[in-house]
């Protein structure tokens, strides 16, 4: 399913060519919506990003893997019954600092 791109967009397509192999295609749909200098600025950013992806793809993949792992390690907090009761009763739970 192809999504329609919003107007005034530029970016990079990664085109898989086999495991670990890919090519990059930059695109720019800014047209006349920005000045020539702004158009050039965004084109340069896209070219720089494409170069970083091509030259540092293993590093970027590793960073992406770490980010995914970090998201997957979300800790679910389940309150103890004593805490839930104290909250319901609006009481204070004694805290032993020596432990």
pTM listed for this prediction: 0.59
**Sequence-ordered alpha helix ranges (H) in 6-56:** 36-55
What the block records as the tokens of 41 is 């600025």
- Domain ranges (residues) in the chain: 10-89
The pLDDT assigned to 88 comes to 81
| DSSP result, 48-66 | HHHHHHHHSHHHHHHHHHH
What span, in angstroms and rounded, lies between the C-alpha atoms of 63 and 66?
5
Q: Are 82 and 93 in contact (CB under 8 A)?
A: yes
Tell me the pLDDT tens digit for each residue of 2-46: 667 667 888 899 999 988 889 999 888 887 888 989 989 999 999
């Amino acid at each position: 399913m192809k999504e329609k791109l919003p107007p005034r967009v530029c970016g990079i397509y990664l085109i898989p060519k086999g495991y670990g192999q890919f090519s990059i295609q930059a695109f720019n749909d800014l047209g006349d919506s920005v000045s020539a200098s702004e158009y050039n600025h965004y084109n340069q950013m896209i070219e720089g990003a494409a170069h970083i992806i091509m030259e540092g793809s293993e590093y970027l993949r590793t960073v992406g893997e770490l980010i995914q792992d970090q998201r997957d390690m979300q800790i679910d907090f389940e309150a103890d019954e004593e805490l839930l009761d104290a909250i319901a009763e609006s009481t204070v739970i004694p805290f032993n600092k020596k432990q």
